[in-house]
Copies of this chain bind each other. A is one copy, B any other.
Amino acid sequence: MSKVVNGMAIPNMPWEECPKGFDGPIWRYSKNPVIKRRPHKEISRAFNSAIVPFNGEFIGVFRGDNLDDIPHLYVGHSKDGVNIEIGEQIHFVDENDNPIADTMYQYDPRVIPLEGEYYIVWCDELCGPTIAIAKTKDFKKFVKFDNPFLPYNRNGVLFPRKVNDNYVMLSRPSDSGHTAFGDIFLSKSKDMVHWGEHRVVAQKGYEWWCALKIGAGPVPIELDDGWLLFIHGVNRTCNGYVYSIGGIILEKDDPSKVKARCKQFLLTPEMDYETTGFVPNVIFPTCALVDAPTGRIALYYGSADTYTSVAFTTVDRVVDYIMKNGR
């Protein structure tokens, strides 16, 4: 059995038991989607977002597509993790507290508790899409760093602690459009500004569900003997891209190495709120709440680039499934 390490107890995290007779690795929340269209007066759709436990409740950073379809980042609060109130748009300051001019768009944030602060990693604009990093203590003031990578890059995900004395980032290099390729790379830094030691972690698969591209999902979950990483994988049909959720186990001390990779998707679009919407047939995981003592996981994912949805599993169940169906 896998044990979550360096994690915290989140006894009040959202949870539903596995439905009777269900034998898959992940089950959906019965009240999905948890964020519906128009969750805020400025926002048309909120999805691909992330929350963390905060003062006994939950707080997070949300991708809010505005009424002009341009995505920006918003702070959101929740008492129970599923009834979510979206608040103010996030603007950034530099280290000296000077405001930084807003870029044109920001999307697909992850929130990473790291060294007592919260790091935000998302896709920002630097003359093309690339990764951005900021940190906050209070979800009021957000200090933005230099962009870690050159364009074109999407899906940045930071590890929740230094590994061998380095900050570690996963990302998916891309191009300037609706990129038709994508692999997961790992990069290291001492200072969160200068990045190097780039390594290929995993490439798109021969399995059709991830034959076009793959990318990292939520912050990796540290286990006693590895890192559990949810990913997205993309299949290209004659009517567009289908995004499913998969899983990988990385090596504990060198997470650029794959210990096990599940050949099958863990979840694929099947419900109306996943197959219909702004971009049909997309499920895109960006956040996992993990209750360390029990290994319970609440996986947050954008559905159809329109809604925020939740699914459940346990570390044991999903790691077991990955190992049994791994290559």
Chain A interface (Cβ < 8 Å from any Cβ of B): 23, 37-38, 41, 44, 66-70, 104-105, 126-128, 130, 146-153, 171, 173-176, 178-179, 181, 183, 185, 187-191, 193-198, 200, 203, 205-209, 211, 235-242, 244, 263-265, 268-270, 272, 275-282, 305, 325
Contact = CB atoms under 8 A, between A and B. Distances in A.
B194 A264 contact: no
A173 to B, nearest CB: 5
Given A277-B275, A281-B278, A69 B209 contact: yes
Contacts of A275: 276-278, 280
B237 A187 contact: no
A261 B127 CA distance: 19
Contacts of A171: 150
A101 to B, nearest CB: 14
A190 B194 CA distance: 8
B194 A69 contact: no
B150 A279 contact: no
B173 A128 contact: yes
Given A173-B151, A239-B281, A278-B281, A68 B178 contact: no
Nearest to A25: B67
15 contacts: A68-B264, A126-B198, A147-B196, A149-B149, A150-B187, A151-B173, A151-B185, A176-B181, A194-B197, A237-B278, A238-B240, A239-B241, A239-B281, A276-B276, A280-B280
Interface centre among A178, A203, A277 (most CB of B within 10 A): A277
Contact of A68 (B69, B104, B191, B209): B209
A177 to B, nearest CB: 9
A19 to B, nearest CB: 13
